[in-house]
Amino acid sequence: MSVDHYENFPVASWLCPPALRPAVAAIYWFARTADDLADEGEAAPAQRLADLAGYRRDLEALAAGASPSARWPQVFGPLREALERHALPVPLLADLLSAFEQDVVRQRYADRADLLDYCRRSANPIGRLLLHLYGVDDTLSLRRSDAICSALQLANFWQDLSVDTARGRLYPPEADCLRHGLAPEAVLRREESPALRALVAELVDWARAMMLEGAPLVHTLPGRVGWELRLVVQGGLRILEKIEQLGYASWRTRPALGRADAPRLLWRAWRMAPPRSALQGSAA
């Protein structure tokens, strides 16, 4: 399992009911392809924005019942079927594109609220789309899903500090940097200091607290999806744990999950305790 920008959930895994796997894969490839348009290759920013604008027009055409261009048939063919079969909320897909467009033009975030607004569009729609497929739409479940998805996005940022800062991207909020006495430019240069370690430690704690806030969702989702989500939550927590084990110096080394982590993740997923209220309800 990878904690990556759009690998925050196992795609069409064996835990996903077969009837939903095509829709899950369609959502994934829609997000993955758009993310690549924003980030991969050597295209200039203007070209990236033009490509994303064309991608958005194809989504709008699909939503209106018209034919998209022939440029991305491997994306919009399966997505058309998913829209028709499951009535996917198109505004959530459009939110993803908004985040990708922002990736092209913004490299810094003023404060945590600013960064969470990005997460609201870059990560949270994935969780909400999956909940839609499972017919879950109550307010508490959506809020917990948002917390998990934002936490995964933050974990990815702190995991990828060495990669992002080398590209000139600063995801630690400027307000947090300054509160630790760090100039944003010093963070981008990855200048070793106790203050930088303290900053990353605080950001890791923030992501962990958000993940634990959303974690009770695993006990309210039906059947296999609840178990799949347990592994996603534990994967994110394990990445944060690995950053901690590095002394929070993820600007030097990128931690990652490997096969050796699988038994630990399975054990921790199995041991996730249901909330006390659920235990009391079952005993009543």
Q: Is 224 helix (H, G, I), strand (E, B) or coil?
A: helix
Give residue 275's pLDDT. 59
Instruction: Please tell me the least confidently modeled range out of 29-33, 37-41, 238-242.
Output: 37-41
CA-CA-CA-CA torsion for 174, 179, 184, 187, nearest 10 degrees? -120
171: which 2 tokens? 């995801």
Domain boundaries, the chain: 12-105, 107-272
pTM for this model (two decimals): 0.90
Which amino acid belongs to residue 228?
E
pLDDT of residue 15: 63
* CA pair distance 159, 66, nearest whole angstrom: 41
What does the buried/exposed string (b/e) look like for 90-114 if buried means 16 or more CB atoms within 10 Å of the residue's CB? eebbebbbebbbebbeeebbeebee
How high is the mean pLDDT of the chain? 90
Per-residue pLDDT tens digits for 224-237: 888 888 989 999 99
Residue 111's alpha-carbon distances to 142, 201, 267, in angstroms, are 24, 17, 36
CATH of domain 107-272: 1.10.600.10
pLDDT one-digit tens code per residue, 62-101: 999 999 999 999 999 999 999 999 999 999 999 999 999 9
pLDDT at residue 41, rounded to an integer: 86
Q: Which residue in this structure is represented by tokens 């996903």?
A: 16
Confidence grade of residue 117 (pLDDT, cut at 50, 70, 90): very high
